[in-house]
Amino acid sequence: MRILLFVLGILVGTAVLGSRAEAQNYPWCALGGKFESSAHCGFTTFQQCMATVSGLGGFCIQNTQYVPTVVTPGPWYRPRHKADRRS
């Protein structure tokens, strides 16, 4: 019984703490050759895409659905120096 409760606790903990899966969006897609039926849009650079299709056939195009992630800067931070401290 204790083992069952322990396993149940582990499963609940991983379900609560686990992050949700998100689709990845990359700027380059491989088409043609091995990718006849669908595009494979898993390349971050044109060179990476071309290296893949060079052995499999096909060509690379820009992903029209690609939306770059926007990184917002954190709050402005200025470390305090000893001269700035007031006693």
pLDDT of residue 60: 93
Average pLDDT over residues 34-45: 83
Average pLDDT over residues 58-83: 77
pLDDT of residue 2: 79
Average pLDDT over residues 25-48: 87
Provide the percentage of residues in the chain whose pLDDT is more than 70.
Answer: 60
The conformation of residue 44, written as its DSSP 8-state character, comes to S
Task: Identify the CA nearest to 29 among candidates 17, 12, 15, 44.
Answer: 44
- Give 69's contacts (C-beta < 8 A, 6+ positions apart): none
Average pLDDT over residues 36-62: 89
pLDDT of residue 50: 93
